[in-house]
Chain A
């Protein structure tokens, strides 16, 4: 079993849609959690950290469920520019990356 698992997608949604990604992790000792965004042939960049109480940044909402060991990312009112691969990252002794979920937002 992989330490961090994500649905690879692809998710194809129309502009304005709401889309949610989940990510599960196996190490219960994990302490910090992140979502990164990666555009095609570019490096990953931090989208947002994920806090225990959940947090929001504009159209993006991240949630953490420690009991079930998953984190989620919700994107509201999707824009064409949201098209990218979203990586979840889990930190215990080291940083573990999911393989990414591909999102395509279409006009």
Chain B
């Protein structure tokens, strides 16, 4: 069974803290994605990666960075958390090529106070 695991489900962080969100997939997928989801705005793409050590900006990369040192792991980093980054963060993966199913992790609920 396919599995995308987000290790932190619920986090509360203070403004200015550095935050790491970790994601691991066990499907040997080339593509990995980080989205955030907010009410009324749907899923917005933050960053994605098509290969190890490769990253591309999505629609809303400001305030975020990513790291992909191994194929199965894609990390999202908030260098200095702000209250407007309070959201649900979803990691996803898919096989390379067009039209392949995207599989999501269970989500990380981040509150920045």
Contacts and interface: CB of A to CB of B under 8 A. Distances in A.
A32 to B, nearest CB: 3
Contact of A32 (B43, B98, B106, B107): B98
B98 A91 contact: yes
Interface of A: 8, 31-32, 34, 41-46, 49, 87, 89, 91, 94-95, 97-100
A32 B99 contact: yes
The 7 A-B pairs of least Cβ separation, nearest first, read A99-B42, A32-B99, A43-B104, A97-B43, A46-B101, A43-B106, A43-B107
B45 A94 contact: yes
Contacts of B45: 94-95
A42 B106 contact: yes
Given A8-B40, A87-B42, A100-B42, A95 B102 contact: yes
Contacts of B98: 31-32, 91
A37 to B, nearest CB: 11
Given A42-B106, A43-B90, A45-B104, A31 B48 contact: no
B61 interface: no
